[in-house]
């Protein structure tokens, strides 16, 4: 399952005011590597010129973690299941992301975390 962009538009053909990206990474041996996940997330933040307000993380026993960045533009989170070699990424941006920006997010995560499979969905939120 390698979907690169599934788009759900706002109702009545109106313009969206925000974008939610959902990225699932499967067969991902780096799912337990906090440093690599941070590098990927901060790579996206840098390339999209997003602004970090606060970072929070929580590590579960015996494994797995959640990492959240509160952004000036909204939020960015990763939830991991290392026992399943799986990560789920959510990026909510208070302005619509372009297809190019969506591709950047995907490329950064694929480069840093090297999953065997992935699924990405872009959902346009709100309306003008």
Known catalytic residue: 59? no
Name the catalytic one among 79, 84, 86, 88. 79
- 3-class DSSP state of 110: helix
Biggest distance spanned by C-alpha atoms of the chain:
47
pLDDT given at position 45: 98
The domain defined by 2-8+16-90+99-125 folds into 3.60.90
The percent of residues above 70 in pLDDT, for the chain, comes to 90
Name the catalytic one among 75, 77, 88, 94. 94
CA 82 to chain centre: 17
Structure tokens at 22: 């959902």
- Does the pTM surpass 0.85? The reply is yes
Known catalytic residue: 79? yes
Burial (CB count within 10 angstroms: exposed 0-12, middle 13-18, buried 19+), residue 85: middle
**For residue 4, is pLDDT > 90?**
no
Name the catalytic one among 28, 32, 74, 86. 74
Q: How many CA atoms lie within 13 A of 96 on its CB side?
A: 16
Average pLDDT over residues 79-88: 96
Enumerate the domain spans of the chain.
Answer: 2-8+16-90+99-125
Known catalytic residue: 74? yes
């Amino acid at each position: 399952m390698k979907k690169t962009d599934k788009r759900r538009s706002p109702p009545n053909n109106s313009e969206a005011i925000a974008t939610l990206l959902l990225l699932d990474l499967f067969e991902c041996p780096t799912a337990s590597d906090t440093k690599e996940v941070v590098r990927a997330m901060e790579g996206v933040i840098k390339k999209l010129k997003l602004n970090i307000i606060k970072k929070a993380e929580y590590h579960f026993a015996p494994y797995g973690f959640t990492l959240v960045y509160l952004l000036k533009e909204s939020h960015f989170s990763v939830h991991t299941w290392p026992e399943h070699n799986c990560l789920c990424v959510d990026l909510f941006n208070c302005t619509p992301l372009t297809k190019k920006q969506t591709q950047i997010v995907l490329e950064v995560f694929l480069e840093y975390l090297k999953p065997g499979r992935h699924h990405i969905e872009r959902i346009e939120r709100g309306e003008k």
